[in-house]
Structure 1
Amino acid sequence: MSVIDIFKHSKAGGWEGNLRTLGINERLRLVPNDDRSSGNPPDSLVMFGPQRIGDAWEACARDDRQRDYLRLRIDDPSFARPITAALFPDDDGKSAQLMWRR
């Protein structure tokens, strides 16, 4: 997996940082989802300005050490296909690495 940015906790709750690849460098926010009434609702909404461009769900990695993370699915008409990424909080919980693998 490649680290494509470092996110920080947002003062309003959730996370904020950039989606940074060779062709993209845009500011994103992960906002906690307050409407969780439907089946399998996302835990957070991925926002680009006022637009919702994706969702994030809580997950748990079962690798050499068990750790919680957010699974992201981000889509935009300019993408060839949706981006699937993972946001792994650091041990201190103050920042998180956004990682991507094709």
Structure 2
Amino acid sequence: MPEVTLCKCCGHPIPRDEIAASLTGKALRLYEIIASAGRVGITRDRAAARLYADDPHGGLLTHPISQWRWIVNGLIRKHGVQIVSTRGPAAVYRLAEVE
């Protein structure tokens, strides 16, 4: 498994350029949103608002954030990171090392 670079200050996994290079469209956008949220993470509602900001229909009914998480994780786990979240309506998403 590839070694993940961690921030020396906070321990948050630092995304590699090749991760973003392997993603496109909404998958890339969600990865960037969650990666930029840092160790604290981002709530489901805030992530959705940013992910679907350019969609006049909101997008949530056809592709909820949890579904995109599953898709993105399938693409980024080979890089040693994954998107993890808490549960429930106030779920918080963040990047973490693959365990």
* TM-score for both structures, normalised by structure 1: 0.28
Higher relative contact order (CA closer than 8 Å, sequence separation 6+) = 2
> Of Structure 1 and Structure 2, which has the larger fraction of its residues in strand?
1
* TM-score for both structures, normalised by structure 2: 0.29
